[in-house]
Chains A and B, each alone.
Chain A
Amino acid sequence: MTMITVSVNGETKTFPKGINIKEMLQKLNFHDEWLGVAVNKEFVPKDAFEKTCLKSGDEVDVLAPVSGG
Chain B
Amino acid sequence: MTKMMETDQTGWEIGGKQLTSRMFIGSALYPSPAVMEDAIKASQAQVVTVSLRRQGVNKEAGEGFWNIIRELGVEVLPNTAGCHSAKEAITVAQMAREVFGTNWIKLEVIGDQYNLQPDPYETVEAAKVLVKEGFEVFPYTTDDLVVAKKLVGAGCNILMPWGSPIGSGKGLMNPYNLKAIREAFPNMPLIIDAGIGKPSHAVMAMELGYDGILLNSAVALAQDSVAMAKAFALAVEAGRMGYEAGAMQEREFASPSTPTVGTPFWHQNK
Chain A contacts to B: CB under 8 angstroms = 9-10, 30-31, 34-38, 41-43, 45-46, 61-69
Contact = CB atoms under 8 A, between A and B. Distances in A.
Given A36-B98, A43-B95, A63-B95, A68 B65 contact: no
B238 interface: no
B17 interface: no
Given A37-B95, A69-B216, A61 B54 contact: yes
Interface of B: 26-30, 36, 49-56, 59, 62-63, 65-66, 69, 78-79, 81, 87-88, 91-92, 94-96, 98-100, 166-167, 216-217
A69 B81 contact: yes
Contacts of A34: 63, 66, 99
Contacts of A61: 54
Given A36-B52, A41-B87, A62-B54, A68 B95 contact: no
Given A65-B50, A65-B69, 15 more contacts: A9-B56, A36-B52, A36-B96, A37-B95, A43-B94, A63-B55, A63-B99, A64-B54, A64-B59, A66-B65, A68-B26, A68-B79, A68-B81, A69-B26, A69-B81
Contacts of B52: 36, 63-66
Contacts of B79: 68-69
16 contacts: A9-B54, A36-B98, A37-B95, A41-B91, A43-B91, A62-B54, A64-B55, A64-B59, A64-B63, A64-B66, A64-B99, A65-B62, A66-B53, A67-B28, A68-B26, A68-B28
A9 B94 CA distance: 18
A68 B49 contact: yes
Nearest to A9: B54
B29 A66 contact: no
A9 to B, nearest CB: 4
